[in-house]
């Protein structure tokens, strides 16, 4: 077995002036499975762009025999949040969106997953649309919630221009290799008065800072910021500066940006995590949320019409 890598520049500003944050691989994190015979040791660097703050893995691991496809294609394994009722989180999201839109119109969720968010929006009167590359997730949304989601990427869709009142990226952008292309497409299909809602893991969260400090104390040159080789398989990370830069380069201006901390969105405990460790992480996440150092970065953007 072998894996291949590709050296890349920053996906936001195309610069290659970076700060080294640590290493990440299939052994470089606590709870990682031990290296066994015929299982290759894979490792890469986590870096931060000095120009825009974007965090990414470089070199990028472009091919390996991992479980990413299975993780994001199994409705029984993947959950939107570690809390029991993800609809509670999505209702909070919709509350924020509706404060700005002031009405329920046409809503597109890009990377719609199992359809929970669209189901919550539909119950509140939105006309919902979604795109999702996982066939199993699309089938689940249809069977569970009666939601028809396109089994495709947004670039393969044929939505008309100026069609949507709101487009949402719920824990999607951190998976996208070409964020500029994605936002350009969204700009075309969003109405002039429409809202783009973005939710991503916060790379400046207090919890990440604590974990990274813990690694240093333990003498580990690791970074907890990304996870290219284990769930949730993130190779890219955003904070305020990089998100604002991305939006501005693609015809959007930020109307509101905030740090949120509720239920560890997109986070999943490992089988090796003890109940005590789970309680500690939960408690720290909630404390950081109260201190405005939460694990979620949210932004509302509007089209920059000049």
Question: How high is the pLDDT of residue 67?
Answer: 59
The total domain count for the chain is: 1
Give whole-number Cα distances, 185 to 56, 98, 125, 163, 164, in Å: 23, 23, 25, 12, 12
- Joined together, the tokens standing for residue 170 give 């719920």
Question: How high is the pLDDT of residue 272?
Answer: 57
- Joined together, the tokens standing for residue 262 give 């509720």
Instruction: Give the model's confidence band at 269: pLDDT under 50 very low, under 70 low, under 90 confident, else very high.
Output: low
Question: How high is the pLDDT of residue 274?
Answer: 66
Question: How high is the pLDDT of residue 56?
Answer: 98
Question: How high is the pLDDT of residue 164?
Answer: 97
Instruction: Give the model's confidence band at 38: pLDDT under 50 very low, under 70 low, under 90 confident, else very high.
Output: low
Residue 238: strand pairing partners: 202
CATH label of the domain that carries residue 74: 3.40.50.150
Lowest mean pLDDT among 128-137, 152-161, 221-230, 257-266: 257-266
Torsion of CA 81, 77, 243, 29, to 10 degrees: 100
Instruction: Give the model's confidence band at 290: pLDDT under 50 very low, under 70 low, under 90 confident, else very high.
Output: low
**For residue 281, what are the domain limits?**
4-303
In order, the DSSP letters of the chain are ---EEE----TTT----EEEEEEEESSSSTTPPPP-TT----EEEEEEETTT--EEESSEEEE-S-SHHHHTT-TTT--SBSSS-HHHHHHHHHHHHHHHH-S--EEEEES-TTSHHHHHHHHTT-EEEEE-S-HHHHHHHHHHH----BSS-GGG--PPTT-EEEEEEES-GGG-S-HHHHHHHHHHHEEEEEEEEEEEEBTT-HHHHHHHHHHHHTT--B--S--TTSTT---EEB-HHHHHHHHHTTTEEEEEEEEE-SS-BT----TT--HHHHHHHHHHHHHHHHTT--SEEEEEEEE---
Q: Each residue of 63-104: pLDDT tens digit?
A: 765 556 577 787 777 766 555 566 777 888 899 899 888 889
pLDDT mean across residues, the chain: 87
């Amino acid at each position: 077995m072998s894996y291949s890598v590709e050296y890349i520049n920053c996906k936001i500003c195309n610069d290659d002036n970076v700060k080294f944050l640590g290493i990440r691989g299939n052994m470089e994190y606590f709870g990682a499975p031990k290296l066994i015979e015929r299982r290759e040791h894979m490792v890469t660097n986590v870096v931060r762009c000095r120009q825009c703050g974007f965090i990414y893995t470089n070199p990028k691991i472009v091919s390996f025999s991992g479980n990413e496809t299975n993780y994001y294609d199994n409705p029984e394994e993947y959950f939107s949040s570690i809390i029991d009722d993800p609809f509670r989180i999505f209702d909070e999201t919709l509350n924020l969106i509706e404060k700005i839109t002031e009405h329920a119109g046409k809503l597109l969720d890009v990377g719609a997953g199992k359809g929970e968010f669209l189901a919550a929006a539909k119950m509140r009167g939105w006309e919902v649309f979604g795109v999702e590359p996982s066939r199993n997730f699309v089938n689940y949304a249809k069977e569970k919630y009666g939601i028809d989601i396109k089994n495709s990427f947004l670039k393969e869709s044929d939505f008309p221009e100026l069609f949507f009142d709101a487009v949402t990226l719920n824990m999607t952008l951190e998976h996208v290799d070409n964020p500029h292309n994605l936002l350009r497409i969204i700009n075309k299909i969003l109405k002039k008065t429409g809202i783009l809602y973005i939710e991503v893991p916060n790379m400046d969260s207090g919890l990440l800072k604590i974990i990274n400090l813990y690694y240093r104390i333990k003498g580990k040159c690791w970074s907890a910021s990304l996870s290219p080789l284990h769930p949730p398989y993130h190779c890219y990370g955003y904070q305020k500066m990089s998100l604002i830069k991305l939006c501005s380069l693609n015809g959007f201006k930020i109307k509101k940006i905030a740090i949120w901390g509720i239920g560890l969105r997109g986070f999943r405990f490992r089988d090796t995590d003890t109940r005590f460790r789970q309680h500690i992480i939960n408690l720290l996440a909630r404390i950081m949320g109260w201190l405005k150092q939460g694990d979620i970065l949210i932004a509302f953007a509007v089209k920059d019409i000049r």
